Amino acid sequence: MARVKVPRKSTAIDMTAMCDVAFLLLTFFILSAKPKTQDPVHADIPASTTIQALPESDFSSLLVAEGKVFFSVEGADVRLETLKGMADQYKIAFTPEELKAFTNLESVGVSITFLKAYLNMTPKERSSVAQPGVPVDTTENNELYWWVKNARKADKLVHNKELRIAIKGDSKEEYPTIEKIIKTLQKQKVNKFGLITSLRTVAK
Amino acid sequence: MAELDTSGGGKKGGGKVRSKKASTRVDLTAMVDLAFLLITFFILTTTLQKPKAMDLTMPDKDEKNDQLPVPASRTMTVLLGSKNKLEWYIGEPGKSAPTKESFGKDGIRKTLLEKGSEILAKSGKGMIVLIKPSDKSTYADMVTIMDELNIVNNQQRAIVQITPMEIELLKRDGIY
């Protein structure tokens, strides 16, 4: 009797399609991911139950920690216009290189008089400089007031939209610092703004 | 690697020596492993870092003329002190003794719900909450109290400047 031979099958699986899908997804996630920006000071943000998401553009945030304020605005084009506005305001001429450097700058944490020197530094030198924060006080003409004002003007000019402003404050920040900022915003009739919080579930 | 040798061994003895044809197949297992590892990493880092924003609307400062008078009987004033403590009273300052309380669901939230429904039953209108953060209170306290008001669905609230008299009240209770 002839023995029936069962042909042995290869255990290899064709991975080509799986590999294609995996890399397609990988490419998608890499491209859609926004690089996490490094904050100049660490802020431990408080938690709340609100689930309103922040907009991606036409948005400015004020980072408040250790009694300092850092100003930042989304979008390179808006940043450029903002600095041009500030240059007019404080009569400081910026070179095209400095303007370009500013569009890549994540946040402003130095006074306008020091900004020119700060922009001429290399990124490595910048990280070694302790940023004192944007000067802010209770008077009508503080620098933060003009940064916000010029950013709002710039956004209106570039995108024709209202700039949304949000405060990103450290939990342990004392109230007077926050109050100064709220007052500065209210002086230019920004009565509605956001407070950036992390998500918390309601304890029932 | 992921492939078993199923050729069944070479022929024994004699015959022409033939060079074996090399397979053109590349083993993709390791590559797929790596790709999925990176995908997992990117999924986790992108979705977990979404900050949320709470809207805060401050009363307009300039238009003094169209401000409505606030009835004291419907007003609850919350004073924020140090050490995450607060005090509240209903009505005009000085006339009713403030109650010291802490944050959380058994603290201020319970009070807000109780007093809110009490005032609603009495006057038929909602409670107005005035928040007065003192200089010793933190930003987190302010956010927490606004959040509590959101949780209890309070519609009328405002952040107001604290008065020296109210600071005295906080000092007396040791939370300033």
Domain residue spans of chain B: 72-172
Residues with Cβ < 8 Å from A117, sequence gap 6 or more? none
ipTM of the complex: 0.71
Burial class (CB in 10 A: 0-12, 13-18, 19+), A49: middle
Torsion of CA B159, B160, B163, B166, to 10 degrees: -30
Closest CA to B143 of A41, A164, A43, A49: A49
Residues 75-134 of B with CB under 8 A from A: 80, 104-105, 133-134
DSSP B69: P
- Kindly list the residues from chain B whose CB atom is less than 8 angstroms away from the CB atom of residue A176: 135
> How close does chain B come to A161, measured CA to CA in Å?
18
**Regions of chain B with pLDDT less than 50:** none
pTM for this prediction: 0.72
Looking at residue B43, its pLDDT comes to: 82
| Nearest C-alpha in B relative to A20 | B32
pLDDT at position B92, please? 74
Residue-wise pLDDT for A127-172, tens only, equals 777 777 777 776 667 788 888 888 888 888 888 888 888 888 888 8
- Which among A32, A48, A170 has CB closest to B147? A48
Residues A41-60 have a mean pLDDT of 77
Q: What b/e readout covers B4-14, taking b as 16+ CB neighbours within 10 angstroms?
A: eeeeeeeeeee
With a pLDDT cut of 70, the percent of chain A lying above it is: 93
CATH class name, domain B72-172:
alpha beta
Domain boundaries of chain A, sorted by first residue: 47-199
Determine, for residues A170 and B2 on separate chains, whether the beta-carbon distance falls below 8 Å: no
Helix (DSSP H) and strand (DSSP E) numbers for chain B: 4, 6
Q: Is the pLDDT of residue A60 over 70?
A: yes
Torsion of CA B113, B119, B122, B123, to 10 degrees: -130
More confident residue, B65 or A175: A175
DSSP 8-class letter at A7: P
